[in-house]
Every structure is written in C-alpha cells, then in structure tokens.
Amino acid sequence: MTALDLSSPVAVVGTGTMGQGIAQVALVAGHPVRLYDAAPGLARKAADTIGSRLDRLVEKERLTADERDAARARLTPVDDLAGLAGCSLVVEAVVERLDVKQELFRALEDVVADDCLLATNTSSLSVTAIGGALRVPGRFVGLHFFNPAPLLPLVEVVSGFATDADAATRAYETARAWGKTPVSCADTPGFIVNRVARPFYAEAFAVYEMQGADPATVDAVLRESGGFRMGAFELTDLIGQDVNESVTHSVWQAFFQDVRFRPSLAQRRLVESGRLGRKTGRGWYDHREGAERPEPHTAGPAEPPAYVVAEGGLGPAAELLDLIREAGIEVREAEEDEGSRLVLPSGGRLVLADGQLSAEFGDVVHFDLALDYRKATRIAVSHAAHTSAATVAQAVGLFQALGKKVSVIGDVPGMIVARTVARIIDLAVEAVAQGVATEEDVDTAMRLGVNYPLGPFEWSRRLGRGWARALLDEMHEVDPCGRYAPSLALHRYARATDQREDTP
C-alpha cells in the first residue's frame, strides 16, 4: 500500500492544540482537510487559528502566499459527523477516555466508507481496545503525533491486535509523505517513547527521594554530563506534573503495576499540592516572576593529584586517561592490569559508577557516566561517610583540572546518568525482544520524540552490550525490590555477545 493520494480528503476530529496541529500538517502536505468538533463553533474557530498560523509561515518564508491561499481554500470546518463522508482518513484527537473514543468511532463507521482509514492520536490508551468496538477493526491504527505536531517530526504508527498490515503500511507511508519520520510499533502501554522514557523521570525522582541530590543538581548532571537537552525535573515542570504523572500511572497500571514503572510518591505530593509546573507558576521549581532559579551543587576548588595510577582501561571512561595526561597530570600504569579504576595518591580509588555503593568499600569515590567526557562540563562524584577527605578532595581536584565542574552527591548506587541510561537500555531491549519495534525504530523514536542525545541501542553499542546488565545486576543486589532486576531480554542480549566472543 502507498500513501493516500493528495486529492483524498482528510478529517480531524477534535480541534484542540493537537487536532489543529495534525490538521495543519495534512493541509500543508496538500490534502483537503475537514475539521469537526462536538462543541459548537470550535471547528470554525480552529480553522481561523490555522489560517493565522499559515500567515506566519508565509512571514517566515516557509510558504508562499499562493500556497497559503490554496491551503486555506482546502480547509473546511463542518458542523456534524455527516460532513466527514467521503474522507479517506479520519484522525481523532479528542479527550483521553476510552468510552468517548469508542463511541466516536462507532458513529464514524456509519458515515465513512469501509475503506476509510481510521486513526487515533491517543498517547495512553490501548489502540486495540479502541478499535475493538468497530465493525471493521482492521482499518484502525494509532497515529501518535508529538506536540507541537507541525514542528516535531516523529509519528508512532501503532498496530492494534486487529489492525491489518495494509492499513498500517498506508498510515506509515502517508505520515512519511507528510514530511514526518514514522516508526512502526505494536500496541503496548506507552508505545515506544512513553514506555522506554519512564526511567528518565523515575530515576531522577528516586535519587531525590533518597536525598542523593536536589532537583537542580540532578538536572545539571543529566544535561552537562549525560548530554540530555533538559533534566527530568525541569522537563516535567514544562510538560506539567499532572500530565507526566498521569502517563506514568497509566503505563504502570497497564503493566499490572510492574515495579519497574512504579510512580513517584514525591511527584504525587507535588500534584496533590497543585504545583503542576510552569502552568501554575510552581512545580519542582518556582517559575513565578522574579523567582530565583536554584543553583546546582558545585564543589569548591581543590588541588589536583600529582599523579594517578591506572588499573585497567576504565572501560566506557577510557577517554579520561588522555584528558588527564593533557592536563599535565602523570598517569602511571599499574603492574597488574586488574580491575578498571584509578588509584589516587591518598591510596583511595576512583571508580566509574558500577551500581555498587561506595559504602561497601574502604576508600572509594565513584564518578558518573558521561556521554562524552571531553565535552562534558560537569561530573558527579559520590562517596561514603567513611571515605577519606583526602581521597574526596583529590577526586574533585582531578576533574576540576580537566575543566569540569564537580557535583558531589550522596552515595547512590548507579549515581544519576549511569542508572538512568542502564534502565532505558533495559526497557528498550525488552521492547524489541517482545516485538514492539525494531532497534532502529526505537533509537529513532527516542532521539526524535524526546530529544535524547543517543538512542538506547546507540548507547549500548558505545558502552558495550553487557554494560547495562552488569550495572543493573549490582543495583539489584544492593536494592532487591525488583525495580533494578535486569529483564530476561537484557540477559539474553548481553549473553549473545558473550557467546559470540567465546566462539573460536
């Protein structure tokens, strides 16, 4: 099946922000577009708003005046569902309630032809459940756009249990013809993005709840070390705490309260207090006029060590050895190449976050994972109460000598970036193993849908396929609640590499 012909009318039901955005995308692509909303007058108001947006596109030289005028002529608000007869595609963007959506599509089936493609833009409900109410469920798909739809390229094309392959292909090719980047996925709670992204929020909140670090510090480490565009606390303030928690709760419930998706009590209290983020003026941060943004914890100046002893190659942090040498600090090679750590002049050890607590060892400072140690502007370090002051100072001074700001956080297993990335990789591997999507589509979805610096499988290839499993194994031993137990899929994923390496 190919994309819908541009002469085919497209309908959008629901004229809120998302509905208007989807209508604009189809309109600019060249389709006749019909708008319907159950509330009287809203469809015509939405048409006027879309017209104003087309004017702005002309001002920005993204459309010509003639293209704008032609698009306006193709846009038609209608007063009832009967006005959608003859459409080849109807996209629904109404309230996130299963009964409302099912009732809508049952009514649509009495209006449109049996070969009309029906699509829902739901982000949290089951595509299978919505389509289950239809007389012809095979032509029903999910077309999950991301807000704002005209700007964000990703579209998740979701096949429900009864969706015909031809219908999914036609929806996919149509989204691509509209200039979007579609990814195919099976109907699973959260689809790709909202399923795989849960740890990004959950682990930040967990570090906070353990009093490992404050929100400003966690966000700074995620941005400046992890390479994420925004930290979890500032991002959820932007999204809306109620919206973010609702998605988390929906995914958790849909997975039968799987502990790996468990919502945050701290976020629940924030929602209960009415501090929903930017839209209410306060969330994790105070967004009211004149409010000062809290600064992340940054350690004061410390003297760098004269030398370090490298035991092993530091694994994913191997680049640090070159940076240390470039900073004029001597790197001595250990006589026995065991482990993967740096030994400081104090006798203490500096170890990449591995899922263990510093408290389990004598004199150890852990440092967090970075997307790129050369480009990172901040590094987090953690230590136990009994870690010597000299070892902590030398660890801080070492990273400061490399031009990094240093945030000292609590003794949290997996620290901040490492635990977050490991859990994202685990959920991504499990999703692929369960046939939800391909590795390529998962990576594309996470890069385009939530602006991750790397897709989970890109991270895994960089870190080593066994890295996430090893870190989560250690975290599960420290905290055996089940949240950090590596999935069976991740064990298989890592072991497949081990076995290939062991084959003569």
- Which residues are the active-site residues? 123, 144, 156, 194
What is the largest distance, in Å, between two alpha-carbon atoms of the chain?
81
Structure tokens at 38: 């159950």
Alpha helix ranges (H) inside 110-185? 127-131, 165-177
Beta bridge partners, 381, equal: 367, 408
| Beta-carbon-side half-sphere exposure of residue 347 (alpha carbons within 13 Å) | 5
Beta bridge partners, 408, equal: 381
Structure tokens at 206: 């967990």
CA 147 from chain centre, in angstroms, equals 14
> CA-CA distance, 57 to 374, in Å (whole number)?
39
For residue 111, the one-letter residue type is V
8-state DSSP, 290 = T
If we measure between CA atoms, which residue out of 361, 438, 367, 445 comes closest to residue 402? 367
If we measure between CA atoms, which residue out of 129, 183, 116 comes closest to residue 152? 183
Which positions ≥6 away from 306 have C-beta within 8 Å?
A: 329, 330, 345
| Beta-carbon-side half-sphere exposure of residue 415 (alpha carbons within 13 Å) | 29
> CA-CA distance, 298 to 269, in Å (whole number)?
28
Torsion of CA 166, 11, 191, 174, to 10 degrees: 50
Q: Are residues 258 and 426 in contact, defined by beta-carbon separation less than 8 angstroms? A: no
Q: What element of type H or E holds 250?
A: helix 241-254
- CA distances to 9, 79, 84, 105 from 37, rounded to whole Å, are 17, 8, 11, 14
Q: Are residues 156 and 442 in contact, defined by beta-carbon separation less than 8 angstroms? A: no
Place of tokens 């988390």: 248
- In this structure, are strands 341-343 and 307-311 parallel, antiparallel, or unpaired? antiparallel
> CA-CA distance, 340 to 446, in Å (whole number)?
30
